[in-house]
Amino acid sequence: MSLWLSLPVVVGVSLVLTGALRRYALRGSLMDIPNARSSHSRPTPRSGGVAIVLSFLAVLPVLGWFGVVSWELVWTLLGAGGGIAIIGFVDDHSHIAVRWRLLGHFAGAVWVLCWFNGMPPLNIFGISLNLGWLGNVLAAMYLVWMLNLYNFMDGIDGIAGIEAVSVCLGACLVYWISGNESLIWAPLLLAMSVLGFLYWNFPPARIFMGDAGSGFLGMVLGVFSLQAAWHSTSLLWVWLILIGVFVVDATFTLIRRFLQGARIYEAHRSHAYQCASRQLGTHSIVTLAVLVINVFWLLPVALYVELLGLDGLIGLVIAYVPLVILAVKFRAGELESHARI
């Protein structure tokens, strides 16, 4: 019972820390200044995501001490999550070259795979696939893509926080209903850590997450999905379905920009959610739309996969097709010189 009572405390700590970080950013002129590629119109403090990192990582060992989270997961997240957050925090203060950031990202991914003993065999259409070293390479690339796509998708007020909270709580619900209660505590802790920050970041945002927070969230969610994969392949599909909004928007946008010859490493504002926010003239409707999609579309599909035995790959396709249609509708990845908005 004492652990359950600690959850509101985590929310409060995150909330207070975010307020303190906002004052720190204002005093130190650590501001996100709008430019032609921004989705906001006024200078706003950044690096508020540090509050998420600190409140989550500080309590995680306590969960390990009480035995509700494995020490394997604790050390995995302390090393990879903490390292990615430090890289992001430094990059928020002074730019780090892309090659060095990627080196740090892959180092974090390797750390995860060492603690997890690599990528588990996957069951697809009833066939068990053990990809060996290729699976480990793909898993490392997946983790690096997850943390970077989360960075890409943190472009309007509240969207990254809403995604993290709704995805984590959705996964907790799936775990609870399916009898996997041992997996609940870590994503539940992350959701509480993000809730305190979200008070300051919900439209209109008074502070931004920054790379320290977005990269951390992407890595941690990736770790949660690999942890789930070691329990059952169906739970991996559950996570991939739940994070579908971010995966589809970021991946579709990147592929389309690449095919059009754009420099994919350059900043832009052509993600579907950014195009939608410009069309609608508001961040809040788009952010809340992500919440609605996660709760009323992706979560039911994930539950169907885990509880009713729908093949995970088929469930993934069912979940993603409407998201791809939305990406096409809002012209995600369209070069801005060709845009009609």
| Range 64-77 average pLDDT | 96
Q: Residue 124: what pLDDT?
A: 81
The predicted-structure confidence for 45-60, as pLDDT tens digits, reads as follows 988 999 999 999 999 9
pLDDT at 37: 59
Q: How far is CA 281 from the centre of its chain?
A: 25
How far apart CA 104 and CA 109 sit, in angstroms, is: 9
| Residue 341 scores a pLDDT above 50 | no
How far is 114 from 62, CA to CA, in rounded Å? Answer: 23
Q: How confident is residue 336, by pLDDT bands cut at 50, 70 and 90?
A: low
3-state secondary structure of 205: coil
Q: What is the pLDDT of residues 237-296, one digit of tens each?
A: 999 999 999 999 999 999 999 888 777 777 788 999 999 999 998 999 999 999 999 999
Quick check: 35 pLDDT over 80?
A: no
Please, are residues 49 and 25 in contact by the beta-carbon 8 Å criterion? no
Please give the model's pTM, rounded to 2 decimal places: 0.94
Instruction: Give the whole-number percent of the chain exceeding pLDDT 70.
Output: 96
Helices (H), 179-311: 185-201, 210-231, 233-242, 244-259, 272-280, 284-293, 299-308
Grouping H, G, I as helix, E, B as strand and the rest as coil, residue 44 is strand
Q: Indicate the burial class of 329 (C-beta count within 10 angstroms; 0-12, 13-18, 19 or more).
A: exposed
The DSSP code sequence of 157-179 is TTHHHHHHHHHHHHHHHHHHHHT
3-state secondary structure of 101: helix
Residue spans per domain, the chain: 2-30+42-122+129-329
> 176-187 pLDDT, tens per residue?
999 999 999 999
Q: Where does the pLDDT of residue 121 fall: very low under 50, low under 70, confident under 90, or very high at 90 and above?
A: confident
Of residues 37 and 162, more confidence is placed in 162
Between vectors from CA 218 to CA 215 and to CA 220, what angle results, nearest 5°? 105
The average pLDDT across 306-325 equals 96
Mean pLDDT of the chain: 92
pLDDT for position 256: 93
Angle, helices 2-27/185-201, rounded to nearest 10 degrees: 40
Q: Could you tell me what percent of the chain has a pLDDT over 90?
A: 76
Contact 39, 205 (CB under 8 A): no
| CA-to-CA separations, 317 to 153, 201, 226, 296, 333, in angstroms, rounded | 21, 32, 20, 17, 21
30-34, 129-133, 143-147: least confidently modelled range: 30-34
Distance CA 130, CA 325 (A): 33
**Predicted pLDDT of residue 339:** 47
The answer to whether residues 332 and 275 touch, using CB atoms and an 8 Å cutoff, is: yes
| Residues flagged as binding site for Mg(2+) | 151, 211
- Detail the residues annotated as belonging to a binding site: 151, 211
Gap between the Cα atoms of 274 and 339, Å rounded = 12
